[in-house]
Amino acid sequence: MTDLVQVTNLHKVFRRGSERIDVLQGTNLTIPDGDFVALMGPSGSGKTTLLNLIGGLDTPTEGSVVVGDERVDRLSAGRLARWRARHIGFVFQLYNLLPVLTAAGNVELPLLLTGLRRRERKRHVETALAIVGLSDRARHYPRQLSGGEEQRVGIARAIVTDPTLLLCDEPTGDLDRKSGDEIMDLLATLNAKHGKTILMVTHDPHVAARASRVLYLDKGVLNAERTA
């Protein structure tokens, strides 16, 4: 099994006036292709920062981030945007759906950066919605969907480009237990059946237990690991 993600000696420093905040302190992380990793830790420990650095939404103060064959932290803004559109699928806690677009319209958004023709985009959208079990809700707007359905649309949007890596930030954090379990069933299927590599931030041990590995980040340091 080849390594998909390699994070080496990663530091991230934020400054608030004269105060220096070391969010990540020499973090090292390797994620093999096809892995499903849960990242836990207290609030403020750097979990979302690490996710954003791997996904190219932020740049490290020091260290390197390699995804596939790409040194992400060295890409120019233009190349980074194109790389992210092709290789990274983001799943957010609060869905981030546009209320003026239907489910299909929201799922199509990442494809607008790919140069695909309209017919091809439509086919990709239909496939993604079918995978998450929402083919019959394609023309519904977010306000017409339940929270669980909105998150399924968010996941369909994340997978519509067939990305290399799924980055999930508290994907069940705004859902009740039943809906959360359904979302975790879907993520587990994407990992096991479709071979998607997943890195997921969560505070919930019940959710983390569904991953193959659980990592713990505390005060910017990756401390421990266990196999689920």
What CATH number should be reported for the domain holding residue 115? 3.40.50.300
Question: Considering its fold, how many domains does the chain have in total?
Answer: 1
Q: Which residues contact 193 (CB under 8 A, 6 or more apart)?
A: none
Q: How far apart are CA 184 and CA 182, in angstroms?
A: 5
Angle in degrees, CA 58, 60, 61, rounded to 5: 130
Q: Which residues of 18-49 are buried (b: 16+ CB within 10 A; e: fewer)?
A: eeeeebbbebebebeeebbbbbbbeeebbbbb
Contact between 63 and 8 (Cβ < 8 Å):
yes
Contact between 5 and 30 (Cβ < 8 Å):
yes
Averaged pLDDT, groups of 10, the chain, 228 residues long: 92 88 90 96 89 94 94 92 91 91 95 88 96 95 95 95 94 91 94 95 94 89 62
Q: Which residues contact 120 (CB under 8 A, 6 or more apart)?
A: none
Amino acid occupying residue 106: N
SS3 for 115? coil
What confidence score (pLDDT) does residue 224 get? 59
Residues in the chain: 228
What confidence score (pLDDT) does residue 5 get? 96
What confidence score (pLDDT) does residue 228 get? 45
SS3 for 113? helix
What confidence score (pLDDT) does residue 34 get? 96
Q: What range defines the domain where residue 49 resides?
A: 3-227
Contact between 28 and 225 (Cβ < 8 Å):
no
Q: What is the pTM of this model?
A: 0.91
What confidence score (pLDDT) does residue 226 get? 52
Contact between 212 and 228 (Cβ < 8 Å):
yes
